[in-house]
Amino acid sequence: MAAVYKTLSSLSSHKKEAEERKYKQRVLILSSRGVTYRHRHLLQDLYSLMPHSRKEAKLDTKTKLYQLNELAELYNCNNVLFFEARKGKDLYAWMSKAPNGPTVKMHLQNLHTMEELNFIGNCLKGSRPILSFDASFEKQAHLRVIKELFTQIFGVPKSSRKVKPFVDHVMGFTIADGKIWIRVYQISESEPGKKKPTADGEMMDLDPALKKGKKTEMDVSLVEIGPRFVLTPIVILESSFGGPVIFENKEFVSPNQIRADLRRAKAGRYNRRTEAALESKIKRGGLGLSTHGGRKKEKDPLSDHVLFA
């Protein structure tokens, strides 16, 4: 009987384990060469917010991104978060499910790291975040894919090794203006009677005994932690860093194009002026003021210039 029980219980526990292992997520975080210090700090911030992530040295190549798949396999990661820096100013974020896709490429703008934001929020390193999504994510297929990727990459799995047991921060993903805005807040609870928390870490100073005894409803407020950034989806590929393009955002204009347009708009002024000058010259010629029938006027033999030369 005992043996039967043992086998049964072991079986069930084994099953449970298997179930848990199913949702295991590990994220490989790395960047390309040529990132600025702000990009590096962002990477650091995200790494500290994601206990299930593995940071890697900068990737040398910007073209052979499929190498990332091997790298992810090497480190046992099933998600890749890759930051590609271009021209030392533009940052692109790639999110991928490592072995066989899909991959999302996004343009990262309006970046503010924790370091420079000076927000007073703080949270445990390794606590699991609540992910808050805008309902617009459910409206379109590509956004659903992106949402799923966000959930798996930024959501810390329960079974992660370095995870801590409390929930004290929330990540907000909102779609506005065709872009995805990301914010991170600390959750601070305080008793209703009490005044607003004094920020830093002191808002937790409530009496646990009182809480247990009366079970009062706590006031929940948020304090921003940082970082802040905005993502514009550009392309979704079917497999991991390769494969056919299954979504392309036509509204995205590359920053290079914007810069070029600006330059060209400036150059346009000069072009217009020179053109106008040329035009007026031709017009004058056509009126016969300085030319005669398309040829230059002959010199008048009686003009002052000739007579008194």
Partner 1 sequence: MARSKLKGALDQYKGRDIKLEKQRKKEKEARKRNEKSRKERVESEEDEDEEVGGIYLVEEAAVKANGKTNKGKKNDMVEKVADEEAEWETEESDDDEEGSEEEEEDDILERAIFDMSRLEDSDSEGSSDDNAEEHNQEGSDDEAEEEEEDIPLSDIESLASEDKGDVIPHQRLTINNTSALLAALQRIQLPYSKMLFSEHQSVTTDEPVEMPDVEDDLNRELAFYSQSLAAVKDARAKLKKEGVQFTRPVDYFAEMVKSEEHMGKIKQKMIDEAAGKKAAAEARRQRDLKKFGKQVQVAKMQERAKEKRDTLEKINLLKRKRQGADLTNTNEGDLFDIELENAAKASHRRKGDGKPNAKRQKKDAKYGFGGKKRHAKSNDAISSANMSGYSLKKMREGRLGKKGGGASKRLGKSRRAKSV
Site string for partner 1, 277-306 (x = CB under 8 A): ------------------------------
Site for partner 1 in 122-181 (CB under 8 A): 122-142, 144-145, 147-149, 151-152, 155, 157-158, 164-168, 170-172, 174-177, 181
Tell which one of 248, 279, 281, 290 touches partner 1 (CB under 8 A). 248
Site for partner 1 in 57-86 (CB under 8 A): none
Q: Which single residue is written with the structure tokens 């007073």?
A: 120
For residue 278, what are the CA distances in angstroms to 45, 83, 264, 303?
58, 50, 20, 28
Shortest separation between residue 251's beta carbon and partner 1, angstroms: 7
Q: Decide if residue 185 touches partner 1 (CB under 8 A).
A: yes
State how far Cα 268 lies from the chain centre. Answer: 34
Closer to partner 1 by CB, 91 or 184: give it. Answer: 184
Give, in degrees to the nearest 5, the angle at Cα 153 between 149 and 157: 120
Closer to partner 1 by CB, 65 or 180: give it. Answer: 180
Tell which one of 66, 90, 201, 285 touches partner 1 (CB under 8 A). 201
Shortest separation between residue 296's beta carbon and partner 1, angstroms: 32
Name the token pair of 239.
């497999």
Site for partner 1 in 256-275 (CB under 8 A): 257, 261, 264-265, 267-268, 271-272
Whole-angstrom distance, CA of residue 158 vs CA of residue 166 = 11
Site string for partner 1, 205-234 (x = CB under 8 A): xx-x---------x-xxx--x---------
Name the token pair of 144.
């659903």
Tell which one of 42, 71, 114, 231 touches partner 1 (CB under 8 A). 114
Closer to partner 1 by CB, 39 or 97: give it. Answer: 97
Shortest separation between residue 294's beta carbon and partner 1, angstroms: 28
Burial class (CB in 10 A: 0-12, 13-18, 19+), 28: buried
Shortest separation between residue 284's beta carbon and partner 1, angstroms: 23
Options 2-10, 44-52, 62-70, 281-289: segment touching partner 1 (CB under 8 A): 44-52
Closer to partner 1 by CB, 63 or 118: give it. Answer: 118
Whole-angstrom distance, CA of residue 48 vs CA of residue 127 = 10
| Pairing of β 27-31 and β 79-86 | parallel
Binding residues with partner 1: total (CB under 8 A): 92
DSSP sequence for 67-111: HHHHHHHHTT-SEEEEEEEETTTEEEEEEEETTT--EEEEEEEEE
Q: Decide if residue 17 touches partner 1 (CB under 8 A).
A: no
Residues 237/103, Cβ–Cβ less than 8 Å:
yes
Residues 222/187, Cβ–Cβ less than 8 Å:
yes
Closer to partner 1 by CB, 211 or 296: give it. Answer: 211
DSSP 217: P
Q: Decide if residue 111 touches partner 1 (CB under 8 A).
A: no
Closer to partner 1 by CB, 34 or 152: give it. Answer: 152
Tell which one of 58, 163, 183, 191 touches partner 1 (CB under 8 A). 183
With b for 16 or more beta-carbon neighbours within 10 A and e for fewer, the 220-232 pattern comes to eeebbbbbbbbbb
Nearest to 28 by CA among 104, 70, 80: 80
Shortest separation between residue 201's beta carbon and partner 1, angstroms: 8
Q: Which single residue is written with the structure tokens 């445990």?
A: 124
